[in-house]
Every structure is written in C-alpha cells, then in structure tokens.
Amino acid sequence: MTRKIIMAGNWKMYKTVDEATELVEQLKEALADVTGREILVCPPFTALSAVAQALEGSNIQLGAQNLYPAEEGAYTGEISPRMLVDAGCRYVILGHSERRQYFGEIDPFINHKLQVALAHGLRPILCVGETLEQRGEGRQKTVVSMQVYRGLQGIGAEAMKDVAIAYEPIWAIGTGQTATPGQANEMHWAIRNNVEGLFGSEVAQETSIMYGGSVKPDNVDELMAQPDVDGVLVGGASLSAESFLRIVKFQS
C-alpha cells in the first residue's frame, strides 16, 4: 500500500503577503528534515506567488483554495487553473463546504472544476462532509457518498492517483468540535468503499483520504493513528507556525 500522507494548511481568507511569507519562512526551516509525508500550504490567491518563491527548494508544496474551470476568458474576479500553475501551485482544494455554503457551489460544478484541474496537472483535494442536521438524521454516509460519486464523475481510474479526498464534517469546521477518531475513521472507510465501487480496490487502497474540522496539536496524533486517515486539512491551527509544525510532525 502506497498511500500518500498529506498534511495541509488551508489559510482561507487570512494572511497578507508579508504575513504569509513570514509564516512559510518559519515553517520551511523547521520542517526541512521531515520526510514520509507531503506538506502543503494553501494561501489566498494574492500570496501564492510570494509564497511559491519563499518555498523554492523546500519540501513544502503549494496549493490554491479554489479555481474557475476555464482556460481564460471574460470571468470577472475569477482565477484559472493556468494561472495557478503559473503561480507555482501543485494542488487545489475544491468543493470546500464554505464554497458550497456561501457561494452556492454544487456537485456538477465542483466535478467540472476537478476535471479541469486534472487536465492542467493540478492535484485536486475534493472536500466532502455532512451538516449536523444530516448527521442527526443518520444520513451522513448517504450525503457524503453522493458528494463523492458526483464529484468524481467521469474521472478515469488512472487520474485518481492525483486526487485526494478530504472528509470535513461541517459541524466540526471552525467550531472546536472534532469528530472522534472513531467517527472519522468510520466515514473514511465508507468513502474508501465508495471509491472502490467506482474504481476498484487497488485505486481505493491508494487514494489518500484526509480529515478536516478543528484539527489541533492535541488531537492530531489520535486522528492520524486511524487506519483510514491519510492526512489532515487544517484551517485555524495552520495559521500559526507553532501549531501547524506540531500537527505536521504528528506522532504515530
């Protein structure tokens, strides 16, 4: 089994260029010796180029938080995959629950973004997750599997080597309430089954499934100890070097 471990920071709408470069300067030195995991930061668009430059020669990768699925064109306010590649991005977060909730993004649009990202050599991180209400009704697996099926529609098995999935229960994002390691693993296992249904067991075993939602230095170790948790997508705790470093250097 060769699943990649991906430890990612999603900076959301935080950090000016100066703040962003200061943070990665701290991270890159402290993480220089860390191996066996992919380390990733996803700054806002305005800081991508500066962070790319600061990260040159380091073992930290760059990702974006979104893209618009067109090569170029009259799409005021949007950023194309070509621009992301040009800025030095290797990854892109797609379908984050905040995009779904505040910007009305729905599965077919997210699927289109995923296909376009892959066509440009970007590695998409497809975010899925249920609301508290859906969990309360016991529908979390149905909701998440629909997001997985629709999000990955039309993707070839071969392309899946570049796709990661992030399970982020909406009730755990920014709330300080984390899924228990057991709850996370149960959902990750279910997602892996969905991937197996679509692409077969070999692809399912090799797909990295990350957990996101109030990941902190004090819960990362037990989350990462779960057999189907292959990394984390960290919001709030990725904004300070001290906490993100501890998270990336999780102890298993």
Question: What tokens appear for 121 in the block?
Answer: 């050599």
Kindly name the residue from 105, 130, 168, 188 that is annotated as catalytic. Answer: 168
Q: Which residues bind ligand PGA (CB under 6 A)?
A: 10, 168, 173-174, 212-215, 233-237
Tell me how far, at minimum, the Cβ of 173 lies from ligand PGA, in Å: 4
Q: Which residue is nearest to ligand PGA (CB)?
A: 235
Residue with tokens 């149960």: 186
Least spacing, CB of residue 93 vs ligand PGA, in Å:
8
Q: In Å, what is the CA distance from 182 to each residue of 17, 127, 186, 220, 222? A: 38, 19, 6, 13, 10
Q: Which of 130, 116, 141 is nearest to 194 (CA)?
A: 141
Query: Is 168 an active-site residue?
Result: yes
Tokens of 63: 């990702």
Question: Can you tell me the distance from the alpha carbon of 20 to that of 239, in angstroms, rounded to the nearest whole number?
Answer: 9
Task: For residue 6, give the DSSP letter.
Answer: E
The CB-of-184 to ligand PGA minimum distance in angstroms stands at 13
Count of other CB atoms within 10 angstroms of residue 44: 18
When computed from its CA atoms, the radius of gyration of the chain, rounded to whole angstroms, is: 17
Report, in Å, the least distance between residue 23 CB and ligand PGA. 16
Q: Residue 213 or 231: which CB sits closer to ligand PGA? A: 213
Residue (81 or 213) nearer to ligand PGA, CB: 213
Closest to ligand PGA by CB, 148 or 232: 232
Q: Between 145 and 214, whose beta carbon lies closer to ligand PGA?
A: 214
Q: If you search the block for the tokens 């070097």, which residue do you land on?
A: 241
137 catalytically annotated = no
Q: In the complex, what is the shortest distance from the CB of residue 56 to ligand PGA, in angstroms, rounded to a whole number? A: 26
- Catalytic option among 96, 105, 120, 188: 96
* Residue 32 and residue 249 in contact, taking contact as beta carbons nearer than 8 Å: no
What's the rounded Cα separation, in Å, for the pair 44 and 21? 12
Q: Tell me whether residue 97 or residue 134 sits nearer to ligand PGA (CB atom).
A: 97
Separation of alpha carbons 171 and 156, rounded Å:
32
Catalytic residues: 96, 168
